[in-house]
Structure 1
Amino acid sequence: MSWTTADMPDQTGRTVLVTGGTSGLGLASATALSTAGARVLLTARDPARGRQACARADAELVELDLADLDSVRRAAADVRERTGDTLHVLMNNAGVFGTPPGLTVEGFETQIGTNHLGHAALTWLLMPALRAAGGSRVVTLSSLGHRGGTVDLDDLHFLRRPYTPMRAYNQSKLANLLFAAELDRRLRAAGEDVISVAAHPGLTNTELLDKSMRGGAPGRAPLARVINLLTTQPLRTGVLPQLYAATAPQVRGGDYIGPRGLGGMRGRPTTARRSATAQDPDLARRLWEVTAGATGVTPDPT
């Protein structure tokens, strides 16, 4: 498959929400979708950065902090009102990577709270708008890191387990894949005209990866930039899997899209490999239930 943005269908008349759009994959996605004719809403925690990104992408700003469920509820209500309850694509792109120990507003571990719980709540709250649009998609971003992840439903927030930044990140990315799969199963069971798809960018040169490689130490910056350039693919290629998942007619519910190169690290979009744990329907069902209890948001579909 040699799919590029030139193969993306015309998006005129479609409305898209991209979370985490101030830089990297989110901004690249928003720009490409807007160029293809979509009305794009772009979320940001920082309004000033959000306005700058919206100007670059020809998008509309939605203020959203996924680490604050009150903010998630406000953003969902804003989107539903602004779009007339009609949303064709929700791209759950935002994420944090390798953070030190920390908690969200509700007391969730930062990475599972932001990457999974916040996005799950947003997805459920926006389901009426996705349902009303028809032929709509939820695209959830995972990572190669999910392969090294385990989801401990009894200790999601590392209250008993030793915390390491990568262990928490990998858990959150595995949770993203499990949620995407369970969402699709429930949508199909309910006969909904909405599909759930997952994607990952492989190893892509983004601000997020660069910051993680520097590890917060300014002295590492030059080495991090060199390693980043040598091991990653350009942003224009890394963004293709999620754009393909959001727009390609041949995509089906439950698909997982990633780069086709060795180990899924580089290349044009294709069907990606997921770990055995990511394919466990019982774990996905139990995570769905734990997520509903933690967020206090009613799952949709039930």
Structure 2
Amino acid sequence: MQSFPDLSGRTVVVTGTTSGLGRALAARFVRAGARVLMTARDDARGRAAAREVGGELVLLDLADLASVRAAAARIRERTGDRLDVLVNNAGVAVGPRSETADGFELQIGTNHLGPAALTWLLMPALCGAGDPERPSRVVSTSSIGHRSARLDLDDLDWRRRRYSPVFAYGASKLANLLFAAELDRRLRLSGQPVLSVAAHPGMTASQLLANSYRRAGGGGLRARVLLAAERLVVQPVEDGIAAQWAAATGPVHGGDYLGPSGPLEAHGPAGPARRSAAAQDPVLAARLWPVTAAATGITPDPGRRLGA
């Protein structure tokens, strides 16, 4: 029988929990004794998942900043402003070009802007639960796809460049790593008891590609083909959550980046992951912060000095 740390008394938010990595993570947190708030865009699917896993549903669409604000307010109210772990897991990948409710390119909007906004809005709750002996944690989920990407801060929405779904996805995952690094830097400066950690699942049967095509109105046949292709080359989702689980519950330091330790970081137990040169650029990370704040319309918790 697999053993888990005792997370009794801990409160966790996992985004994107109706299937794949998010659902598996939520179930594991519940088995470890945590109170788990599971976010989902779809009420019926979210209720079914929460009922099966034993978590609590919070409706959240990361592609709609009004939904992000409403969900953050509900989470803060329901947790009494005490949140131990936030796992930013939900995302979309490589579907046809589409836009969020606020007019952003769908992948940068859903994968970076929405999670960044949620993190900032929940920071008072994360600070409220953390202490120096047991800091709260923010886990940002990236991808090996970030390594071939570049981030154009003057054209996040791909309006001036020819659109590439693959490179747009990579850019959003690069943004996740840059945001996690800058968040870690600012948390260290402010002395708040919160760790910013990142992780990626390697090649996992997460249904991310198929779900993204369905959301963007892609054909059902293409979604089924993508799902079948995923199953041929990827590890089971229970193995794929290893790095995210280690980032959320294992011995880590702020700024760590974890992924599968096998060849090409595709499979295997969690270990240190490799960042691209761009993902290690502190100037780019610092520049992304105000660009993200302007796009989301959210000031990064100045009361906690994270906006400094």
- TM-score tier, shorter chain, comes to over 0.9
Partner of residue 282, structure 2: 281
1:183 has 2:183 as partner? yes
Distance 2:161 2:100 in 1: 18
Distance 2:109 2:227 in 1: 29
Kindly indicate whether the alpha-carbon contact (under 8 Å) linking 2:95 and 2:209 is maintained by their aligned counterparts in 1: no
Distance 2:100 2:291 in 1: 17
Partner of residue 127, structure 2: 131
Distance 2:211 2:100 in 1: 20
Q: 1:240 aligns with which of 220, 239, 242?
A: 242
Q: TM-score, normalised by structure 1?
A: 0.94
Partner of residue 49, structure 2: 53
Q: Letter of the aligned partner of 2:264 in structure 1? A: G
Q: Deviations over 1:194-219 (max 9, x none)?
A: 00000000000121134569994444
Give the CA deviation at 1:220. 5.1
Partner of residue 162, structure 1: 162
Q: Deviations over 1:233-267 (max 9, x none)?
A: 1111001110110001x211000010001110011
Q: Secondary structure at the match of 1:6?
A: coil
Q: Deviations over 1:159-207 (max 9, x none)?
A: 1000011111111000000000100010001111100000000000121
Q: Letter of the aligned partner of 2:8 in structure 1? A: T
Q: Secondary structure at the match of 1:157?
A: coil
Distance 1:104 1:225 in 2: 24
Kindly indicate whether the alpha-carbon contact (under 8 Å) linking 1:8 and 1:247 is maintained by their aligned counterparts in 2: no
Q: Letter of the aligned partner of 2:99 in structure 1? A: L
Partner of residue 253, structure 2: 252
Q: Deviations over 1:42-69 (max 9, x none)?
A: 0011110000010111000001111111
1:299 has 2:295 as partner? no
Distance 1:212 1:79 in 2: 26
Which deviates further from its counterpart, 157-166 or 99-108?
99-108
Taking a change above 3 Å as real, the CA distance of residues 74 and 217 of structure 1, as seen in their structure-2 partners, is closer
Distance 2:213 2:52 in 1: 27
Q: How many residues were matched structurally?
A: 297
Kindly indicate whether the alpha-carbon contact (under 8 Å) linking 2:76 and 2:125 is maintained by their aligned counterparts in 1: yes
Q: Letter of the aligned partner of 2:243 in structure 1? A: P
Kindly indicate whether the alpha-carbon contact (under 8 Å) linking 1:210 and 1:228 is maintained by their aligned counterparts in 2: no
Q: Letter of the aligned partner of 2:242 in structure 1? A: L
Q: Letter of the aligned partner of 1:228 in structure 2? A: E
1:66 has 2:68 as partner? no
Distance 1:94 1:223 in 2: 22
Q: Letter of the aligned partner of 2:275 in structure 1? A: R
Q: Letter of the aligned partner of 1:181 in structure 2? A: A
Q: Letter of the aligned partner of 1:126 in structure 2? A: L
Q: Secondary structure at the match of 1:251?
A: coil
Alignment of 1:1-302 (within 5 A): 6-134=2-130, 135-211=135-211, 216-219=218-221, 224-248=226-250, 250-300=251-301, 301-302=306-307
Question: Structure 1 stretches of 5 or more lacking a match?
Answer: none
Taking a change above 3 Å as real, the CA distance of residues 218 and 20 of structure 1, as seen in their structure-2 partners, is closer
Q: Letter of the aligned partner of 1:175 in structure 2? A: A
Q: Secondary structure at the match of 2:9?
A: coil
Taking a change above 3 Å as real, the CA distance of residues 109 and 219 of structure 1, as seen in their structure-2 partners, is closer
Q: Deviations over 1:23-50 (max 9, x none)?
A: 0000000000011000000001111000
Give the CA deviation at 1:143. 0.4
Q: Deviations over 1:118-163 (max 9, x none)?
A: 1000000000000000110000100010001111000000110000
Give the CA deviation at 1:229. 2.6
Q: Deviations over 1:219-238 (max 9, x none)?
A: 45675455323311111100
Q: Secondary structure at the match of 1:62?
A: strand
Kindly indicate whether the alpha-carbon contact (under 8 Å) linking 2:210 and 2:224 is maintained by their aligned counterparts in 1: no
Root mean square deviation, CA, Å: 1.7
Q: Letter of the aligned partner of 1:162 in structure 2? A: R
Question: Structure 2 stretches of 5 or more lacking a match?
Answer: none
Kindly indicate whether the alpha-carbon contact (under 8 Å) linking 1:213 and 1:224 is maintained by their aligned counterparts in 2: no
Which deviates further from its counterpart, 204-213 or 73-82?
204-213
